[in-house]
Each structure stands twice: as structure tokens, then as C-alpha cells.
Amino acid sequence: MPSTLTHTHLSRSLQAGRYFDTTPHLHLLVKANGAKYWVYRFVDHGKRRDLGLGRYPQTTIAEARTKANDFNLRLSRGEPLRIVEPSPPQAIIFRDFAQQYIEIHQAEWRNEKHTSQWLNTLEAYAYPVIGDLPLSQINTEHILTILQPIWLTKTETARRLRGRIERILAASTTRQLRSGVNPAAWRGHLDTLLPRPSRIQRVVHHAAAHYRHMHSIILAIREKVCVSAFALEFLILTAARTREVLGAKWSEIQGDVWVIPANRMKAYREHRVPLSQRCLEVLSMAKYHLGESEYIFHNDGRQLSNMAMSNLLKGIDRHCTVHGFRSTFRDWVAEETSFSGELAEMALAHTIRNQVEAAYRRGDLLQRRRVLMEDWSSFLSNVPAEVVVAFPLKRRSA
């Protein structure tokens, strides 16, 4: 029976078939792949004919009804109608669908660098092979052609690229633009054709300074009066990540606690950092020498660059990295203190892999971590008093 078709009804996933509207001769044809077409059905010299009126939702309900009523008027006058069968949908190529996927999902990614990595790897390796192919035609051989040349030499890049292609193709299957096995799937598919990344990839850890060398490094940092030095010492004292420190804002400092919002944390969970007395001194020096700004560590109000602390560290010790100081802290806790590994992991804001343990852990052990971080600060500051830079120093000119 004909019924008044509505946008709410048609926007749902409908079974394949014909859905008739109360407008005479008008119905919606839903194909097996989910594509929807407006069709004007009429009888011409005793033979039933179909006239295509456009695809839904590109052609709205109102537009389809207007066209149908126009044809009804012409049919009543005996005017001939041109018969046009509904045309099949134009195949969507991988490149276009991948771009749509990135535009939709980049809002959930942390920064523009992540989006650039998606685009760069797809453009460099995937698009030359499958960029112009319809989604439904991409098969396992295409994926192997993309991955095999770099699987052994650029394993991490290849691993991430495979995952990105898998997600894009999975989305296209959900949209009913392709069917069957995902040719980029790893488990039960590519893992039977390619060696495991963990077996062929040499894991390179961030170079870390030994904790017994930290005294000289801290001294060298404190001899420099600049935004990079303030930021780097604060990072070492808090065992925080570079991104967390670079984005630190004064609004996040609540007394002697630094509250890092979830959107800047690797685990996407708010993290509270107890600030030692030396941390508070570094904050005071930063405000005194750098002036007021939204960001704690800034250059004329602009957030510090990613390389600022690394460049400073190169002039002090070329054999360690900024991120490596987190490992230095972890080694110090394990080898020189009686604090538990659990407390150290919580100070580093590491994700709890054991789901049962994670379910039962409610607090963040802030008070116990406060003692830990104060001891870490004392260890770092255990240097002769006469060589510590006095405060305040000459203030930066306006």
C-alpha cells in the first residue's frame, strides 16, 4: 500500500525493494547494496515502464514529488515521456573515500601531525597502487604490493599503514560500498602471509641518561636562564611527557597540583601531578622571566616548539633524549628507593594493561606520589649550594 514517505523513514537502512509514495506513480527503489533511487512507474502502450528521477538523498522527497507531478500532468495530456532506466551508482575510488574518512575522524585525533601522518603514508605507499581503484575491487594482492616492499625495511611505517588501510576498508564495508573479507586485516589473514612485526623490528628505545649523571645535567640546565631550560627542568621534575609540558597552562595549576586535562594525555584520562617545592620555584621563575601568558612556557605568548627542549639538551648531553628522562626516573625508583613499581607507573601515567586491576583501582595515590616526587626533586638537587643559580635573575625586558 502507498504511504507518505518521510525523510526519517528513508534515512534508515531499508531492505531491498520498492517503497511507494502517496504521490501517484512515484516510488523509491532500494537496491541490495543499500543505494536508493526515485522511480516514476507508468504504463506505455500496455507495457510498464520506469523513469529514473534521481538518487536519494541527493534528490530530496520534495524534488522527486515535483518531478512526479510534472510527469503526471504531461501523461494526462498525452505527451510522450522519455524512458530512462535508473543508472547504477558511480563506483567510489579508494582515494576519495580515504579522504572522507580522514576528514570525519581527524576531530578525534590529538593534533595536525597525526592527520599529516595518515595523509603522507597513504599518498606515498597506498595511492600509487589502489588510489584510483573502486573500493569493491581492492584485494589481498593489492595490499601485499603496498606492504611487501617496506615490511622488512620500514616495519613500523608498514605496520601503521596496514592498520590505516584496514580501518578505511572496514568503514567502506559498513557503508555497504564493498563486501567480503577485509584484505588489509591482520589476524587470520595477512599474518599468514607476512612475518610478525615484533619478530623483525628492532625496538629502539629513547636514549636515557643514567640517574647518577642527573646531577650534572640539572646543574647545566639551571645555569641557563631561558624558557627551554625552565620547561626542561619542569619536565624532569614531574616525569611528564613533552606534549604535556609544552601545552601546560597556568589555569591547570591548582595550588601545588598540576591537573593535566584528558585531551593532552596519552591515555585520554585526566592526570594529577603533585608539584614539589622545586617545581613551584621553577614556575615562579618562569612567570617572573617570561611574563604573563596563557601558556606557562612560551615565546611571546606562543606555545614552545616541539624541538626547543631537545635543542637545549643537545648542548648539554648529546647521548640522551628528553623523553628518556622518564626512563631515568623509573630506573631511579626501582634501584634507589623503596617505593613500589605501581606508584612509579602511576606517576608516569602509564595505562594499566590488566583490566581486572584497572577496574579495582579507584584513586590515584596522590599523597603517596607527593612524597615520591619530593624525594626525586631532592635527589636531583643534591648539588653543592654555591653552584646553584640564585633567584631572582635579571628580568627579561618588555
pLDDT in tens, 314-370: 989 888 899 999 999 999 999 999 999 889 999 998 876 555 454 445 578 899 999
The tens digit of pLDDT for each residue in 168-204 reads 999 999 988 999 999 999 999 999 999 998 877 655 5
Same domain, 196 and 217: no
Same domain, 372 and 227: yes
What domain range is 114 assigned to? Answer: 94-200
Nearest to 225 by CA among 383, 386, 377, 389: 389
Higher local confidence (pLDDT), 160 or 319: 160
CA 94/CA 132 separation, integer angstroms: 6
Is the pTM above the cut of 0.85? no
Helix (H) or strand (E) holding 228, with range, is helix 227-238
- 83 part of a folded domain: no
- 217 part of a folded domain: yes
Same domain, 362 and 215: yes
Higher local confidence (pLDDT), 111 or 132: 132
Q: Is the pLDDT of residue 148 over 60?
A: yes
Residue 173 is part of a domain; what is its CATH number? 1.10.150.130
CA 285/CA 227 separation, integer angstroms: 10
Contact 389, 225 (CB under 8 A): yes
- pLDDT for the residue numbered 390: 40
Domain count across the chain: 3
- pLDDT for the residue numbered 373: 95
- pLDDT for the residue numbered 107: 76
Strand partners, 273: 258
Q: Which of 27-36, 128-137, 317-326 bottoms out in mean pLDDT, i.e. has the lowest?
A: 27-36
Same domain, 217 and 194: no
Same domain, 353 and 222: yes
What pLDDT band is residue 9 in, cutting at 50, 70 and 90?
Answer: confident
- Between helix 366-380 and helix 227-238 the angle, nearest 10°, is 130
Residue 38 is part of a domain; what is its CATH number? 3.30.160.390
Which phi and psi angles does 354 have, rounded to 5°? -75, 110
